[in-house]
Each structure stands twice: as structure tokens, then as C-alpha cells.
Chains A and B, each alone.
Chain A
């Protein structure tokens, strides 16, 4: 059985915890899907508080002696889980960021080429800017001589 004082402390802490999550969600400071684990652990903590006997039986089952020990181990477990999910979120975002950076750089090159081609086309008297290579399609096919992109960049550099 948990001491009454401790139960009150934990109860107050848990309420504050949920209010904090709600405030964050309301301000859209965190996305709902990232708070799911937080909410889930909050609910488990609530159940523990409301049914201390069940919690006691549970930690006995795991072979943990002492209620406080059980509480600590339990919370550390939750924290580790949250840390792992954070690592996974960071990794996924790093992956997305890498893809974005790469795509951005490739696009930037394409724009450079098109601008170079545009300038070249404007300066040529026989054609209009409309005949500049179309946006779609691949780079080297757009080139009149088909000799690959570096020719294009060469033009844009000299333009």
C-alpha cells in the first residue's frame, strides 16, 4: 500500500502533468501523435495511483522489493521508452532533412541551368525565351547537343 501522503503528491503531480500536456496541445506546441506516449504513460500512472494494490501485486510479480523501488523502476522504464521514441523521431527527421537538402541542391542546379539557358536564348536573335528547355524532362535530354549537364553549366557560368 502506498502511503497516503505520497498518493496525494503523485495525484497532484499527475494532474499537473496532464494539464501541461493539454496546454502544449492547445498551443500546438507539440503534435498529438508525439504526445500519445506521454498520455499513455500518464494513464498508466493514474491506474497505479487508483489501484495501489494491483501495482503492489504487479511489482511483487516482477520480483521487485519495496514500493518505492517499484515506482522508480517503473518511471525509469517509462523515461527510457520516451527517450527511445525521441531518438527514433530525430532519426526519421534527420533522414527527411537529408533528402530535402539533396533535392534542394539538385533543384538549385536545375534552376541555375535553366537561367543560363534562358539568358542564352534571349541573347540569340532567332529564338524567343519560350523555346528555352521545358521544366519537365531530364537535364541532359534538354540540351541541344545532348552532351550532358556540364556543358550547360559552362554556358551559365559564362553568361
Chain B
């Protein structure tokens, strides 16, 4: 590639005003050469005001679409503006942007179409609770069963995709709890997935959206959607 690729960092944010500024500061500090886009998913706190006050590049969704819809907005934006690579990171400060270079590496070297930042390869940093790790492991196993591809950190929202997958995701992206489904969709579209070891932090403030009864719903919903997603793609692979 003769010129520098256009990279967009997508940051979906729903009521993350407390953590958002820190995330943006990190991006401006570690990778000022790349564009970023905050997708404000109909937040009810002062995210919108914060963005305009600090000159943060942001898209404000008038209604809450959920994480899937928000991330898709970012891909749609990337697609419209001709970006070569889109990276999504969480707005809660879990993902360390200093690993961005490592995540982009396989894409820039054209060794992979999708790179996923995984906390379970080097097993450093925040590893999540035992129950969650078990859940993630079983989803990972299910994905392997369905597609033959081993991805360890299937719920990681720290990922980079190339131009082809920007277009695919802009057109179609799963809605609630989309990360594992997006992996299936990527494999089914013939994408090469590469996991990159990263260290994640515990979220800045607030709490995860998945706890208690929701975890049961999450596991059932995601397992079902993985199986259904696999079936609807047919025998393409």
C-alpha cells in the first residue's frame, strides 16, 4: 500500500459521559493520526453536550438502538466516508488504545480481514469473573462447533475490520449482544479472523449491562442466535 490507510475508531457510547472523555483523551494521545467517531446511542446523560464542548467528533442517534445499532452506525459512516479500516472499541474505558497498533497489524499486513483483541491469549489484565469466563468459553466452543474457527474472546468488542467487512457490517449487523454473531457472520462471509493478545482494564465506572437474570437470557439468546445464524447461512462453508 503506497499511502497511509484511513482508519476510523468507532466508539459506541450509551450514558458513558464519565468514561468517554478519558477514552477520547487516550486516543488523542496515542493515535492522533486516526479519526474517531463517538456514536452517542440516544444517551440520557450529558454525552451530547460533552461531545460538543470538547469538540469530539460524534454522531447522535435520536433514539436508543442498542449496541448493535450503534456500532452499525459507525460502520455505515465509515463506509460512506471511504475508510479502509474501522476499529471498534467500547466507550467504557475497558480497551486500552495503546494496543491499537497491534490490532491493526494483521490488517495492514493483509494477513487477516478481522482482528479481535483478546484478553484470554496472554491471560494478563482484567480477566472477568469465573462464571463469565465459563460462559465465554462455551460460546467460543459453540462457534468452533458451528464454523470450525477457534476464537477465544468471542465477546470482545475490541476489533478491527477491513474495507470489505465495513461494507458487510454497514449493511447487516446483528442487534442485541452482537459480538459473537458478528464473528459467525464474518466467518460465513469468508473472512480471515485473527486474535491479537491485549490487556483489558476493568471498566471505568458504571456496571456491565449483563448481570443476574440477564446473563441467563444472554447465554440462551446468543447460543440460539449462533446456531440460527449458522443455519441461515446454509452450506456456504
Task: Check if A31 is an interface residue, CB within 8 A of chain B.
Answer: no
Size class of the A contact interface (CB-based, 8 Å) = 20 to 34
Chain A nearest CB from B148 CB (Å) reads 30
The stretch of A51-59, A124-132, A149-157 that contacts the partner chain: A149-157
Q: Contact: A138 with B56, CB < 8 Å?
A: no
B27 (CB) vs chain A CBs: closest residue: A150
The stretch of B65-73, B138-146, B183-191, B219-227 that contacts the partner chain: B65-73
Q: Contact: B57 with A98, CB < 8 Å?
A: no
- For B57, give its contact among A102, A104, A149 (CB under 8 Å): A149
User: What is the bound-complex CA distance between A138 and B58, given in angstroms?
Assistant: 16
B54 surroundings in chain A (CB, below 8 A)? 157
Known: A139-B81, A140-B81, A150-B35. Contact between A98 and B69, CB under 8 A?
Answer: yes
User: What is the bound-complex CA distance between A105 and B48, given in angstroms?
Assistant: 12
Known: A149-B81, A158-B55. Contact between A105 and B60, CB under 8 A?
Answer: yes
Size class of the B contact interface (CB-based, 8 Å) = 20 to 34
Chain B nearest CB from A87 CB (Å) reads 15
Task: Check if A148 is an interface residue, CB within 8 A of chain B.
Answer: yes
Task: Check if B200 is an interface residue, CB within 8 A of chain A.
Answer: no
B59 surroundings in chain A (CB, below 8 A)? 105-106, 108-109
B82 surroundings in chain A (CB, below 8 A)? 138, 140-141
Q: Contact: A149 with B65, CB < 8 Å?
A: no
Task: Check if B207 is an interface residue, CB within 8 A of chain A.
Answer: no
Q: Contact: B55 with A157, CB < 8 Å?
A: yes
Chain A nearest CB from B67 CB (Å) reads 12
A105 surroundings in chain B (CB, below 8 A)? 39, 59-62, 73
A73-110 near B? 1/0 per residue, CB < 8 Å: 00000000000000000000000001001111110110
User: What is the bound-complex CA distance between A154 and B61, given in angstroms?
Assistant: 19
Show the binding face of A for B, using Cβ within 8 Å. Answer: 98, 101-106, 108-109, 138-141, 148-150, 152-154, 157-158
Show the binding face of B for A, using Cβ within 8 Å. Answer: 6, 34-37, 39, 52-63, 65, 69, 72-73, 76-77, 80-82, 175
- Can you give 30 A-B contacts (C-beta < 8 A)? A98-B65, A98-B72, A101-B62, A101-B69, A102-B72, A102-B76, A105-B62, A105-B73, A106-B77, A106-B80, A109-B59, A109-B77, A138-B80, A138-B81, A138-B82, A139-B81, A141-B82, A148-B34, A148-B35, A149-B35, A149-B81, A150-B35, A150-B55, A150-B56, A153-B56, A153-B57, A153-B58, A154-B55, A157-B54, A158-B55
